[in-house]
């Protein structure tokens, strides 16, 4: 049996050892008055399902797989928020997004547009997409959850944020909208 990760209210008391992009995320959420809970953990990637399950259980929030995608021509870019129990099927999501067949974008595009490294893609990265080059795609099941779990642009912490705060207040502040999709 694993020990529950410790939940903290809001940002870390001390920013020492934290990346600038993580601190910028906390600053942005705090300026908006969005409340969030945080847990710190080992780097979370899809390669360790037990850690992801522990994070989800500890946060009591649905953790999303965040996929950074592009069309074939690399002229349109997307972030897909997908529940961890669903799979990305390009043909299904592409049709709903109104785009040519989507595929995983190269890491340099993700780092350039949303300032997230592979394994840490997050809706929070839209803070850095000032040119609005990234279209957000959200699986409908995410929208039905009371809370969403996401990274603060790094994969060694996870946040729990009310879904309404994320998809109303946050997205309005970063001047983005979303397209609801139904993945399989």
Q: Is 90 inside a domain boundary?
A: yes
Q: Is 112 inside a domain boundary?
A: yes
Q: Is 126 inside a domain boundary?
A: yes
Tokens found for residue 62: 């649905």
Q: Which residue from 106, 92, 180 is spatially nearest to 143, judged by alpha carbons?
A: 180
Is the CA virtual torsion 110, 83, 52, 102 positive or negative? negative
Angle CA 66–68–73, to nearest 5 = 155
Mean pLDDT by 10 residues, the chain (184 residues): 77 92 97 97 80 88 91 95 90 93 96 94 96 97 94 95 97 97 90
Domain at 59, CATH number: 3.90.960.10
Question: For position 3, what pLDDT does the model report?
Answer: 54
* Phi and psi, residue 100, nearest 5°: -65, 170
Note down the domain range covering 75.
8-181
Q: Which residue from 68, 141, 136 is spatially nearest to 106, judged by alpha carbons?
A: 68
| Residue 136 burial (C-beta neighbours within 10 Å; 0-12, 13-18, 19+) | buried
- The whole model's pTM is what? 0.93
Give the total number of structural domains in the chain.
1
pLDDT digits (tens, 9 = 90+) for 122-151: 999 999 999 999 999 999 999 999 999 999
Q: How far apart are CA 149 and CA 37, in angstroms?
A: 9
Q: How far apart are CA 128 and CA 106, in angstroms?
A: 17
Q: Is 1 inside a domain boundary?
A: no
Q: Is 3 inside a domain boundary?
A: no
Query: Are 166 and 160 spatial neighbours (Cβ–Cβ below 8 Å)?
Result: no
Q: Is 146 inside a domain boundary?
A: yes
- Beta strand pairing call for 147-150 and 62-70: parallel
Q: Is 36 inside a domain boundary?
A: yes
């Amino acid at each position: 049996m694993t020990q529950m990760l410790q939940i903290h209210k809001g940002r870390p008391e001390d920013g020492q050892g934290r990346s600038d992009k993580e601190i910028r995320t906390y600053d942005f959420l705090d300026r908006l008055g969005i409340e969030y809970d945080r847990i710190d953990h080992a780097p979370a990637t899809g390669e360790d399902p037990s850690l992801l399950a522990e994070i989800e259980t500890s946060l009591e929030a649905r953790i999303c797989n965040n996929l950074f995608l592009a069309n074939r021509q690399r002229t349109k870019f997307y972030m897909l928020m997908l529940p961890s129990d669903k799979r990305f099927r390009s043909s299904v999501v592409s049709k709903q997004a109104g785009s040519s067949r989507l595929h995983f974008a190269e890491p340099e595009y993700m780092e350039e547009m949303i300032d997230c490294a592979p394994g840490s893609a997050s809706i929070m990265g839209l803070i850095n997409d000032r040119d609005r080059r990234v279209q957000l795609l959200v699986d409908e099941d995410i929208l039905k959850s009371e809370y969403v779990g996401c990274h603060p642009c790094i994969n060694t912490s996870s946040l729990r944020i009310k879904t309404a705060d994320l998809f109303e207040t946050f997205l309005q502040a970063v001047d983005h909208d979303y397209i609801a999709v139904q993945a399989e």
